[in-house]
Structure 1
């Protein structure tokens, strides 16, 4: 049996308007993919009108609590004493959101209880993953 952690978070979309609107978002962690976290946004909160899900390293999220990290599509940095900024870069544009530090810390603590940092490799099934990759190649 697999336990997947899902935690709704309040995200605030940083826009040109003075008031940042809240948008629903969900962080999730699956021990079958132990190095990754996912952040999904429901269809009504996206420009395309479809659910959007970003997958990135759990380590990136944890490190972003303390310092600016990331050079690719996802970047994370502290903002003030109680917020984190997440930037999601795509060809269509960039979304910048704020999330409360407390919500992220609770999520990371839950994921670490499930799979401790440094022991992620014990939760990988490389044979299964390789079979999935090669499944449609013949």
Structure 2
């Protein structure tokens, strides 16, 4: 089983006349609590690919009920949608993600590191060394 997975997810920014696009969701067992949503350059304000990292639990829980209280929030949308809200100083974007794509990604991420086993995957010595290097 690979330690890193990437799934394509159909998405659309919730705004007038927005066009559907394909984003990518990434999970890496080396960072077991996090997922990354990668958005293409064509939809960003500065024309560059944008990556948001947030807790894997937000996607897991947010498919069924509202989750998150900070700059990233997730909740069930219309049938077949999972809503993802991303807040930054520049503004807020709300993205509708295809619920089946999100479910497939979450299932694959849980196959790599089952829920509750995240701490067993962390290399505490390496994490501490990294913190000390950057101090």
TM range (shorter): over 0.9
Partner of 1:13: 13
Residues 1:49 and 2:21 aligned together: no
The 3-state SS of whatever aligns with 2:97 is strand
Structure 1 gap segments, 5+ residues each: none
Report if aligned partners of 1:64, 1:77 keep a CA contact under 8 Å in 2.
yes
Partner of 1:123: 121
Partner of 2:77: 79
Residues 1:40 and 2:38 aligned together: yes
Report if aligned partners of 2:26, 2:35 keep a CA contact under 8 Å in 1.
yes
Distance, in Å, in 2 between the alignment partners of 1:84 and 1:45 is 19
Q: TM-score, normalised by structure 1?
A: 0.92
Partner of 2:60: 62
Q: Deviations over 1:95-136 (max 9, x none)?
A: 111011111110011011110000111110011011111113
1:10 CA drift (Å): 1.1
- Structure 1 pair 114–23 and aligned structure 2 pair: CA distance change class (3 A): same
Report if aligned partners of 2:3, 2:30 keep a CA contact under 8 Å in 1.
no
Q: TM-score, normalised by structure 2?
A: 0.94
Structure 2 gap segments, 5+ residues each: none
Aligned length: 135
RMSD: 1.4
The 3-state SS of whatever aligns with 2:38 is strand
